[in-house]
């Protein structure tokens, strides 16, 4: 009887272990936001006028008067091990007049339940609350300084469909927050907002680019509209965004038009970043311009040190016209062969390059200039100087300038955009397509996508030029779930507005269906698929992608190469090659130094490519061990350039490789085993089994031997 009980016990324990091995791993969790006891509230509020900067005094309620500024902080922290995909932060401001109300905040992603919160806003009289343009700052990854927004967003998305902050890995290191401000508008006691240009309102304040930057001084610039009430203005500045100092205090009168203001700064520290903003105040309240920054010149700027990355500074643009301007900067190669160029665009995401040139290897300052054309009138453009040598890439301060001419709205040349059916759909990835006509103005494009028609994700923003004809563009969706429907639409934006294409959908399959090709008379299912875009003959560049392993496995390191060739007899200029890696692949290194490189994108500024000349860039990357057999990995490469006729052009090529099964099964098994050993219950069972084995084979066996003897 005792032996029977033992056998039953062993059998049950074995079943528990086997069930634990083949059941879903306990550690596989969906992403989760803000559920740790140490997390901050999802949304907090403060009176910015009374408690600016580091004195924010965040809480769950605030009181404010007409004309004051209210700040909001939205916090996110993914507390799970899974990556939160396509994370979006949103705050819903009230749409009408009120005295007391609640404002809700939300953090959501495609694979996590929303984290929400509310705060109370109490006003001294019936007012409205409106978002202050340009006031939003994003602090990801526990950063103490703000980062540029993703995909060309301007910040206003926070109070509409939501601000996209991307994929957020689990853990404290990736927690972040978004801060923005809202204006309490004066309603004159009747519920009607007093707008600029009537008989009194808060002043308008705009911060402009700095100029005449030296090692120890700079001149700040801005504009103020008093809005028919006697106004004063000044600048706040300092080495942090809490500022701490003021300059340029002045009276700007009682008019109803923009007035230029300036402030001279002295006794600054060399090689230091300073933050500044314009401020204006009248009897209706105080208005704060956008926070901007600049860096003073280094103490040894004139004669640098060898074995250093170059020193680079962005200077004030000149020759500003309705459709063109000259960008200016200065570079010290620091004794190493250096190339330099400008990046510019209608948002701080930039997107376009100009003026790529060789600076040499001197140890002194050289000027950098480039004239850009086909700009839109009365439009703000952002730009910065960039320089690169063997020791690294240095970026100058992003500055802004507004072109002259007639108001941009009188032209109305928004881009035309059309969404097309997906070209290739696999179990975990897809290639989506669209058409865009920039309508003669510098245009960028992207796709919105997600598992609902609310989307929630954006592809990488790509420049598409300023032509007046239709061209195709496309993007890769990777890391998709099997048997899932995704919605997407093409989007294009220029100085005249943003246009959205029609919404389409695609559904991933449970297995990858590899298209067949015929070689001779034999149908073949290729493991590597190459797609060239566009097919139009206007492109003078060809891209030929290849990969060193035709059937790579999970965990493999592969070498993905792009050969580029200028097929024309004339040189092309401003050539930039952007290589987009699938989300299941991690960037390791490249044969040429990239000006920008992340896990998902590597950008190479190639400058001028002579006629009938070719080159090749090779990327080394590692396929994640979690990738399944027959998953399709789509690698994309896009070259943008200016041809001999001064026309912006682009060429794209995609390479799809189907993952083999050699390591994927082993990787999955190792993953299961890894999960087993992180589960305390299974650890307990394994411990009992090991103890029972020791007892049976050593202690019990010894006892039996003694009895036999």
Read off the pLDDT band of 442 (50, 70, 90). confident
CA distance linking residue 651 with residue 538, whole number of Å: 10
Six-digit token pair at 261? 């203001």
Residue pLDDT, tens place only, 195-242: 333 445 788 888 887 777 777 888 888 889 888 888 888 999 998 887
Whole-number pLDDT of residue 104: 93
Residue pLDDT, tens place only, 669-678: 444 444 444 4
List the one residue out of 370, 429, 380 whose CA is nearest residue 404.
380
Whole-number pLDDT of residue 42: 95
Provide mean pLDDT across the span 488-496. 88
Provide mean pLDDT across the span 126-137. 82
Provide mean pLDDT across the span 407-422. 74
Integer-rounded Cα radius of gyration of the chain: 30
8 A C-beta contact, residue 450 and residue 506: no
Whole-number pLDDT of residue 503: 93
Q: Say which residue, 514 or 108, is predicted with more confidence.
A: 108
Cis peptide before 707 (omega within 30 of 0): no
Give yes or no for residue 103 having a pLDDT over 90. yes
Q: Say which residue, 60 or 600, is predicted with more confidence.
A: 60
Read off the pLDDT band of 54 (50, 70, 90). low
Whole-number pLDDT of residue 538: 63
Q: Which neighbouring-strand residues pair with 439?
A: none
Provide mean pLDDT across the span 97-103. 90
Whole-number pLDDT of residue 214: 77
Provide mean pLDDT across the span 541-570. 89
Domains in the chain with CATH codes: 2-26+679-708 (no CATH), 43-177 (no CATH), 204-295 (2.60.40.10), 311-409 (2.60.40.10), 416-658 (2.60.40.1510)
The three-point CA angle 397-403-409 to 5° equals: 120
Residue pLDDT, tens place only, 576-632: 898 989 988 888 888 887 776 665 788 888 888 888 888 889 999 999 888 888 888
3-state SS string for 620-637: EEEECCCCCCCCEEEEEE
Tokens 């090692």 belong to: 215
Q: Say which residue, 162 or 595, is predicted with more confidence.
A: 162
Cis peptide before 534 (omega within 30 of 0): yes
Read off the pLDDT band of 192 (50, 70, 90). very low
Give yes or no for residue 699 having a pLDDT over 70. no
Instruction: Kindly state the helix (H) or strand (E) to which residue 686 belongs, with its residue range.
Output: helix 680-694
Of the ranges 264-278, 294-308, 690-704, which one carries the lowest mean pLDDT score? 690-704
Whole-number pLDDT of residue 700: 52
Provide mean pLDDT across the span 694-700. 53
pLDDT above 70 covers what percent of the chain?
79
Provide mean pLDDT across the span 440-446. 86
Give yes or no for residue 329 having a pLDDT over 70. yes
Please provide the average confidence, as pLDDT, over all residues in the chain. 79
Six-digit token pair at 467? 């032509």
Q: pTM of the prediction?
A: 0.54
Read off the pLDDT band of 22 (50, 70, 90). very low
pLDDT above 90 covers what percent of the chain?
16
Read off the pLDDT band of 689 (50, 70, 90). low
Read off the pLDDT band of 52 (50, 70, 90). low
Would you tell me how many other CB atoms lie within 10 Å of the CB of residue 696?
12
CA distance linking residue 486 with residue 430, whole number of Å: 10
């Amino acid at each position: 009887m005792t032996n029977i009980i033992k056998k039953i016990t062993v059998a049950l324990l074995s079943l528990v272990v086997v069930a634990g091995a083949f059941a879903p791993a306990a550690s596989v969790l969906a992403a989760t936001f803000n559920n740790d006891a140490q997390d901050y509230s999802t949304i907090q509020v403060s009176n910015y006028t009374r408690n600016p900067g580091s004195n924010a005094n965040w809480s769950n309620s605030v009181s404010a008067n007409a004309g004051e500024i209210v700040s909001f902080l939205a916090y996110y922290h993914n507390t799970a091990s899974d990556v939160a995909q396509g994370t979006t932060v949103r705050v819903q401001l009230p749409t009408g007049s009120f005295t007391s109300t609640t404002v809700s905040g939300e953090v959501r992603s495609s694979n996590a339940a929303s984290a929400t919160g509310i705060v109370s806003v109490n006003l001294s009289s019936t007012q409205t609350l409106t978002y202050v343009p340009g006031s939003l700052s994003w602090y990801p990854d526990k950063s103490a300084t703000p980062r540029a927004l993703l995909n060309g967003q301007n910040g206003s998305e926070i109070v509409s469909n939501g601000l996209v902050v991307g994929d957020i890995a689990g853990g404290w290191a990736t927690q972040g927050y978004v801060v923005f401000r809202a204006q309490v508008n004066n309603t004159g006691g009747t519920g009607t907002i007093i707008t600029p240009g009537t008989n009194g309102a808060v002043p308008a304040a705009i911060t402009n680019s700095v100029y005449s930057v030296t090692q120890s001084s700079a001149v700040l610039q801005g504009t103020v509209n008093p809005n028919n009430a006697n106004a004063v203005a000044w600048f706040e500045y300092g080495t942090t965004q809490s500022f701490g100092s003021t300059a340029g205090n002045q009276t700007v009168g009682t008019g109803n038009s923009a007035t230029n203001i300036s402030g001279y700064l002295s006794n600054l520290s060399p090689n230091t970043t300073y933050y500044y903003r314009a401020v204006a105040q009248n009897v209706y309240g105080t208005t704060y311009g956008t926070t901007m920054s600049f860096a003073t010149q280094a103490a040894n700027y004139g004669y640098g040190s060898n074995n250093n990355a170059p020193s680079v500074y962005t200077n004030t643009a000149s020759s500003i016209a309705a459709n063109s301007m000259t960008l200016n900067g200065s570079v010290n190669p620091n004794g190493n062969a250096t190339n330099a160029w400008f990046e510019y665009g209608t948002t701080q995401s930039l997107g376009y390059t100009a003026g790529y040139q060789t600076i040499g290897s001197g140890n002194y300052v050289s000027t950098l200039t480039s004239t850009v054309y086909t700009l839109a009138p009365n439009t703000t453009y952002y730009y910065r100087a960039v320089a690169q040598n063997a020791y690294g890439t240095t970026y100058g301060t992003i500055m802004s300038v507004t072109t002259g001419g007639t108001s941009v709205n009188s032209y109305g040349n928004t881009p035309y955009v059309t969404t097309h059916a997906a070209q290739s759909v696999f179990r975990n990835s897809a290639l989506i397509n669209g058409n865009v006509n920039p309508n003669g103005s510098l245009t960028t494009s992207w796709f919105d996508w997600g598992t609902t028609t609310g989307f929630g994700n954006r592809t990488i923003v790509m420049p598409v030029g300023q032509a007046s004809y239709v061209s195709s563009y496309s993007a890769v969706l990777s890391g998709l779930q099997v048997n899932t429907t995704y919605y997407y639409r093409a989007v294009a934006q220029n100085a005249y507005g943003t246009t959205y294409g029609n919404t389409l959908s695609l559904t991933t399959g449970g297995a990858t269906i590899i298209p067949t090709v015929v070689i001779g008379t034999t149908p073949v299912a290729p493991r590597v698929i190459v797609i060239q875009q566009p097919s139009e003959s206007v492109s003078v560049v060809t891209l030929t992608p290849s990969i060193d392993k035709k059937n790579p496995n999970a965990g493999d390191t592969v070498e993905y190469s792009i050969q580029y060739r200028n097929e024309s007899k004339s040189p092309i200029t401003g050539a930039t090659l952007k290589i987009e890696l699938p989300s299941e692949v991690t960037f390791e290194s490249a044969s040429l130094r990239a000006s920008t490189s992340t896990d998902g994108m590597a950008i190479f500024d190639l400058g001028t490519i002579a006629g009938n000349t070719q080159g090749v860039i090779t990327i080394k990357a590692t396929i994640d061990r979690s990738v399944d057999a027959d998953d399709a990995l789509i690698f994309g490469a896009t070259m943008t350039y200016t041809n001999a006729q001064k026309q912006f052009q682009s060429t794209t090529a995609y390479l799809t490789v189907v993952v083999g099964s050699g390591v994927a099964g082993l990787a999955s098994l190792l993953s299961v085993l890894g999960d087993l050993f992180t589960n305390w219950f299974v650890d307990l069972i394994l411990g009992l089994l090991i103890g029972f084995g020791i007892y049976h084979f050593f202690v019990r066996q010894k006892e039996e031997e003694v009895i036999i003897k």
